[in-house]
Structure formats: structure tokens, C-alpha cells
């Protein structure tokens, strides 16, 4: 008899979030491997869905979507735009900073909504009355691991695998003791801990006992896609996704590009700095600071299939990340999407820790170039030389030089990710 898996994740298909990709792909491929997968997940506040994940959802038969009763949900759903009005092309670096009390109120409501989600999940587990061989919960928010611990403690699941697609964090210093208690709960009760990077395990203190299972890309997402024609009017660099305000920093790329423009290699009217998403102010402000405001092209928030087409029509994919002493192992899910798109990548890693995991992956797979703040003296001329090459090939009407290590790239598929998780399930059940 195949093993029964209870997968708990707030983010899940068809939510139009990068955080929904990992749990959805795990559920899809574990189901194909013969596991009986039951999913407990949340319902997004936004009506915008990801059609690619919706296609995956058709292959996952047992999904229980939890709609918690919370003030935050009522507030957020009321603020959603009318369908069809999500896109925007206005370019602006000015943002109105919310007052501190509004931030505090939002965080309080988010915490209450998370607690409500946990209570609703526990009720659903009791209502189902099923018994599982393993419960697999993938963080965040905090509630998912708390619910998984409940499932194991009450005998609904024999074993618990605690998965981390982000490192645990809380917004205020005074919450440090709560975070420590949460991490102790996971360490004491989870049978296995997995994470998307070694850095995450190291920062959380689980390097010795944890297992790294990288995110993956799914070649099936490109099924039925006809690649759009590359732009010929402008050399297009693109970033679609979160900047976390300005926490992710592409300034080194913007400065290197501006320097080449000053040298006369290419004019501003021949370059497009394309961006899309909800969190774009950091991208815009960093480009403007480098004097590149006339190159900006904004597309606002869009479904993932449209985002993929927009990226494919461009020439170079931009990826910001960080690697700090207390925040190591940042490997954005976008990196795996970029591998799937099979296009050149320019990555900028801010922070004081050299030799980041993401730099190692990019160099091993040879999908582009990675600039690190901690290695800026050596990396800055390398970045500039790389951009010179990109510019010259575009001006000649040739495709960008791109010679990836196919074997290394093939090691990052979603199916491979799920097989590693299946090995973990078998080892611990």
C-alpha cells in the first residue's frame, strides 16, 4: 500500500505566488510516484491565479482549501482591484511610506490571521479523521509547522518532515524569545528538517541534522508555449518579482550599465529596463539613481504565464539576492524559473559574506554572471566585461552568448526535488 502524505502549506496552486510553486510541484510529483497526497492549504487574498499551477492542480485530487475567518482577509479582499485593471505602466520612484502604527496594525492582523488559519486547519484534520504515514509542512508562515506538530502529537501522522523554503524570522527584536521557542518546537518534535539551502540550515542552527532539497523548475510549465520573438528595438534586461523594497539591490548592474553608456558603447534609447510585479519601487529607485530613468518600462502585476512570455521576449534576466552573516542561503525561486527559461542571468548578491550558494550554482551551471558585494573588487570588472559582450552581440544582431552546463542545470528539476523528498520520506518512515 502506498504511503499517505499530509502536505500543509499556506501557499498552493493556483495562487499566483512564487511560494506556491514548491509545495504544488512536490504534491504533483509525489502523487505521480504513487503516494496518496492530501493537501491542506490557504486561499489567497488576490483573485489573480497562476494558470500553470492551475494545470498542475488538476493532477492533485485531494486538496482542502482553508479560508480562515479573519479581519485581515476581509480587509485585503475588499482592497483587491477590479479584474482586468491589475496592469500599470506608470513609472515612479516616489512611494508614500505608511505610518508606523499602520505597519504595527498590519503585522498584528497578519499574526491573528495566521493563528486563525492554524485553528481552521486543526478542525479540518479532526473532521477528516484520516491517519497519515507522514505530515510534510513547508514554511512559512508560522502556522504550518504548528499544525504539523499538532497532527503528529495527536496521532494523525506517524512522522513529521519540517520543510523551509525561507528561514524563520519575526519582524521585531522583542519577538526573539518567541522565535526561539518556535525553532525549539520544530527541533524537538520534527523527525526530519529540510530546507532549500545549506545557508538556511546554518543560520537556523540545524546544519548537522538538516537536509538540503533545492527548489526546482518544471519543464512541463513550458508545454504548449510558443517562444515569443526576441525584441529587436532595444536590448532588454528584465526583472519580474519581489525586491523587498530595496533590500534586494541591483545597483551594481545599473552602475556598470550606466558606465558603459557613458563610454559610448550603447545609447539609453537602445536599452529597456523592464520590470513587473507588485513590489517595484526598489527596482525603479535604483535605476533612477544610476541615471537610467528613461530606460524604464513598467508592466505591473501579471499572471505567471504572461510574465514568462515577457521574460522570454527580453535578452537578459536580472536576479537580486543577499548573503549576510545572519541571513545566508538566499536562493530566490526565480533562479529556478530562469533555468527553465534557458536565458542569460545577471545576479547581484548584496551582503558581507562571500562565496554565496547562489553564486556557486550560477558558476557551476554557467547560466550567467554573479556579482557579490563581498567580492566586489574582482566581480565589478567581470560584470562590466560581461555586459560589454552582451551589448556587442545585440548590436551585431546575434543572440546573447549562452553556453550553460546542461548536466548541472538538469539537477534542478522539480521531479528531482520531489524524488529527494521521497527518499527522505522513505528514510524516516
Residue range 126-134: mean pLDDT, rounded: 97
Cβ-based neighbours of 360, under 8 Å, separated by 6 or more: none
Asked if 270 contacts 235 with a C-beta cutoff of 8 angstroms, the reply is yes
pLDDT of 429: 53
Instruction: Give me the pLDDT at residue 221, please.
Output: 92
pLDDT of residue 82: 46
pLDDT band at 175 (very low <50, low <70, confident <90, very high): confident
E strand or H helix at 170, and its extent? none
Band of the pLDDT at 98, cuts 50, 70, 90?
low
Residue 153: which H helix or E strand, with range? helix 143-153
Q: How confident is the model over 367-402, as pLDDT tens digits? A: 999 999 999 999 999 999 999 999 999 999 998 889
- pLDDT tens across 286-340, in order? 999 999 999 999 998 888 889 999 999 999 999 999 998 888 888 888 999 999 9
Which whole number is the average pLDDT over 409-418?
95
pTM for this prediction? 0.83
Q: What would you report as the CA-atom Rg of the chain, rounded to the nearest whole angstrom?
A: 22
pLDDT at 264 over 90: yes
Handedness of CA 184, 190, 195, 199 (dihedral sign): positive
Q: In this predicted structure, what is the pLDDT of residue 219?
A: 94
pLDDT over 90 (residue 78): no
User: Mean pLDDT in the chain?
Assistant: 90
Number of Cα atoms under 13 Å in the Cβ half of residue 346? 30
Beta-strand runs (E) in 166-277? 192-195, 211-212, 235-240, 271-276
Decide which of 224 and 133 is more confident: 133
Phi–psi pair at 405, nearest 5 degrees: -80, 100
Number of H helices, E strands in the chain: 15, 13
Return the closest-CA partner of residue 70 out of 140, 137, 7, 10.
Answer: 10
pLDDT range class, residue 69, cuts 50, 70, 90: confident
47: pLDDT strictly greater than 70: yes
Residue 243 is predicted with a pLDDT of: 78
Task: Tell me what pLDDT residue 247 has.
Answer: 65
Amino acid at each position: 500500500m502506498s504511503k499517505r502524505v499530509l502536505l500543509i502549506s499556506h501557499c498552493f496552486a493556483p495562487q499566483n505566488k512564487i511560494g506556491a510553486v514548491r509545495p504544488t510541484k512536490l504534491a504533483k510529483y509525489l502523487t505521480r510516484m504513487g503516494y496518496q497526497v492530501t493537501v491542506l492549504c490557504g486561499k489567497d487574498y488576490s483573485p489573480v491565479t497562476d494558470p500553470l499551477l492551475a494545470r498542475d492542480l488538476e493532477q492533485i485530487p485531494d486538496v482542502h482549501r482553508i479560508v480562515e475567518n479573519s479581519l485581515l482577509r476581509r480587509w485585503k479582499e475588499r482592497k483587491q482591484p477590479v479584474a482586468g485593471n491589475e496592469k500599470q505602466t506608470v513609472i515612479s520612484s516616489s512611494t508614500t511610506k505608511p505610518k508606523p502604527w499602520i505597519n504595527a496594525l498590519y503585522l498584528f492582523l497578519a499574526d491573528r490571521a495566521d493563528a486563525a488559519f492554524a485553528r481552521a486547519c486543526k478542525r479540518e484534520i479532526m473532521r477528516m479523521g484520516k491517519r497519515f504515514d507522514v505530515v510534510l509542512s513547508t514554511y512559512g508562515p508560522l502556522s504550518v509547522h504548528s499544525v504539523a506538530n499538532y497532527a503528529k502529537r495527536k496521532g494523525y501522522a506517524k512522522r513529521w518532515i519540517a520543510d523551509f523554503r525561507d528561514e524563520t524570522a519575526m519582524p521585531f527584536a522583542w519577538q526573539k524569545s518567541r522565535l526561539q521557542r518556535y525553532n525549539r518546537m520544530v527541533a524537538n518534535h520534527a523527525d526530519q528538517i529540510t530546507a532549500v539551502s545549506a545557508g538556511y540550515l546554518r543560520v537556523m542552527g540545524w546544519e548537522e541534522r538538516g537536509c538540503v532539497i533545492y527548489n526546482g523548475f518544471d519543464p512541463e510549465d513550458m508545454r504548449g508555449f510558443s517562444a515569443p520573438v526576441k525584441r529587436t528595438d532595444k536590448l532588454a534586461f528584465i526583472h519580474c518579482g519581489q525586491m523587498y523594497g530595496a533590500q534586494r539591490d541591483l545597483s551594481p548592474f545599473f552602475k556598470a550599465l550606466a558606465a558603459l553608456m557613458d563610454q559610448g558603447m550603447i545609447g539609453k534609447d537602445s536599452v529597456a529596463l523592464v520590470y513587473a510585479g507588485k513590489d517595484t519601487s526598489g527596482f525603479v529607485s535604483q535605476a533612477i539613481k544610476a541615471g537610467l530613468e528613461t530606460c524604464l518600462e513598467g508592466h505591473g502585476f501579471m499572471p505567471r504565464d504572461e510574465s514568462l512570455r515577457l521574460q522570454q521576449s527580453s535578452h537578459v534576466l536580472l536576479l537580486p539576492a543577499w548573503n549576510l552573516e545572519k541571513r545566508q542561503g538566499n536562493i530566490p525561486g526565480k533562479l529556478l524559473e530562469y533555468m527553465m527559461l534557458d536565458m542569460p542571468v545577471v545576479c547581484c548578491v548584496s551582503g558581507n559574506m562571500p562565496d554565496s550558494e547562489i553564486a556557486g550554482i550560477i558558476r557551476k551551471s554557467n547560466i550567467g554572471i554573479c556579482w557579490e558585494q563581498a567580492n566586489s573588487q574582482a566581480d565589478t570588472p567581470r560584470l562590466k566585461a560581461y555586459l560589454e559582450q552582451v551589448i556587442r552581440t545585440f548590436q551585431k544582431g546575434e543572440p546573447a552568448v549562452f553556453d550553460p552546463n546542461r548536466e548541472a542545470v538538469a539537477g534542478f528539476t522539480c521531479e528531482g526535488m520531489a524524488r529527494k523528498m521521497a527518499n527522505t520520506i522513505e528514510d524516516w518512515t
